[in-house]
Chains A and B, each alone.
Chain A
Amino acid sequence: MVRLFGPLVGLFFAVALLWSFGNGAYTAIKEPAAATAEHEFHLHPKEVKFASDGAFGKFDKQQLQRGFQVYKEVCSTCHSLKHVAFRDLAALGYSEAEVKAIAKEWGAKQPTFDPKSGERGERDNIPSDYFPVVYYAGQGVPPDLSLITKARHDGGAYVHSLLTGYQEQPAELLKKFPDAKTPDGLYYNPYFANLNLAMPAPLSGDGQVTYADGTKATVDQMATDVSAFLIWTAEPKMDKRKQTGWAVLGFLLFATVLAYLAKKNVWADKH
Chain B
Amino acid sequence: MSFPWANEYKPANGLTQWLDEKLPLPRFVYNAVGAGYPVPRNLNYMWNFGVLAGFCLVLQIVTGVILAMHYAANAGVAFDSVEHIMRDVNWGWMLRYAHANGASAFFVVVYLHIFRGFFYSSYKAPREMIWLLGVVIFLLMMATAFMGYVLPWGQMSFWGAKVITGLFGAIPVVGEPLQVWLLGGYAPDNAALNRFFSLHFLLPFVIAGVIILHIWALHIPGSSNPTGVEVKTESDTVPFHPYYTAKDGFGLGIFLLIYCAVLFFAPNMLGHPDNYIPANPLSTPAHIVPEWYFWPFYAILRAFTSDFFFIPAKLMGVLAMFSAILVWFFLPWLDTSPVRSGHYRPLFRKFFWLLLIDVAVLGYCGGAPAAEPFVMISQIASMYYFLHFLVILPLVSSIEKPEPLPFSITEAVLGKDESAVLNANPAAA
Contacts and interface: CB of A to CB of B under 8 A. Distances in A.
Residue of A20, A242, A244 with most partner-chain B CB within 10 A:
A20
A36 to B, nearest CB: 11
B273 interface: yes
Interface residues of A, number: 58
Contacts of A20: 303-306, 308, 313, 379
Given A55-B265, A256-B254, A147 B376 contact: no
A87 to B, nearest CB: 10
B87 A152 contact: no
B270 interface: no
B80 interface: yes
A66 to B, nearest CB: 22
Given A146-B83, A245-B260, A256-B250, A16 B94 contact: no
B389 interface: yes
Interface string A1-33: 011001101110111111111011100100001
B269 to A, nearest CB: 12
A266 interface: yes
B274 A23 contact: no
B249 interface: yes
Interface string A230-265: 000011110011101110110011011001101101
A58 interface: no
B371 interface: yes
A241 B383 contact: no
A259 B249 contact: yes
Contact of A245 (B264, B268, B303, B316): B264
A128 to B, nearest CB: 11
Contacts of A240: 93
Interface string B289-324: 000000000000001111010010100100010010
Interface residues of B, number: 62
B268 A150 contact: yes
Contact of B334 (A6, A13, A255, A263): A6
A266 B249 CA distance: 12
B333 interface: yes
B59 to A, nearest CB: 14
B337 interface: no
B391 interface: yes
B253 A7 contact: no
Contacts of B41: 270
A3 B396 CA distance: 13
Contact of A17 (B260, B263, B303, B334): B303
B212 interface: no
A252 B253 contact: yes
B247 interface: yes
A155 interface: yes
Contacts of B265: 55, 242, 245
B175 to A, nearest CB: 19
B391 A11 contact: yes
A16 B249 contact: no
A153 interface: yes
B375 interface: yes
B238 A24 contact: no
Interface in B336-365: 336
Contact of A21 (B242, B246, B376, B386): B376
A90 interface: no
B32 interface: no
A6 B264 contact: no
Given A150-B276, A249-B264, A6 B394 contact: yes
B315 to A, nearest CB: 11
A56 B260 CA distance: 15
Nearest to B394: A3
Contacts of B256: 252, 256
B246 A25 contact: no
A216 interface: no
Interface string B250-283: 1011101100110111011000011011000000
Interface of B: 41, 80, 83, 86-87, 93-94, 97, 238, 242-243, 246-247, 249-250, 252-254, 256-257, 260-261, 263-265, 267-268, 273-274, 276-277, 286, 303-306, 308, 311, 313, 316, 320, 323, 327, 330, 333-334, 336, 371-372, 375-376, 379-380, 382-383, 386-387, 389-391, 394, 413
9 contacts: A25-B376, A33-B371, A88-B87, A151-B276, A262-B250, A266-B243, A267-B246, A270-B238, A271-B413
